[in-house]
Amino acid sequence: MAWDIKVLRTPAEQSLGVKQFQFPLPTNFLLFFPGIAPESYIHMIGVKEPLHIYLLGADFKVVGSGILHLGEVAPVPQGAEYLIETSWQAAVLTDFGFLAQYL
């Protein structure tokens, strides 16, 4: 599958997150948040559909993942450096090394 990757680098882009895009999300849509803050939270406030999230360490290995539902708030686990968000209906990802080119 060819992913339509959007990289959210600035604090303003990251605070808006997925809310700045059209819903429903296509199944090939991927948001990449490089450099997430330790001890921060991922929130689903104002989001219109569940999201599959992946939290990755500096080596692009998964340190946490799951589906977040509307209104949920989840802490960023220790060791997470990057956040990925996809449609909850998207194919499950297992290899994230291809994202290194977007740093």
Residue of 101, 73, 76, 96 lying closest to 86 (CA atoms):
96
Total domains present in the chain: 1
Mean pLDDT over 26-46 rounds to: 90
| CA angle (27, 33, 39) in 5-degree steps | 125
Confidence band, pLDDT 50/70/90 cuts, at residue 16: confident
Structure-token match 């990251």, residue found: 14
The answer to whether residues 32 and 39 touch, using CB atoms and an 8 Å cutoff, is no
Give the mean pLDDT of 57-81.
94
Identify the CATH number of the domain in which residue 87 sits. 2.60.120.1140
Provide the percentage of residues in the chain whose pLDDT is more than 90.
73
- Please give the residue range of the domain that contains residue 73: 4-102
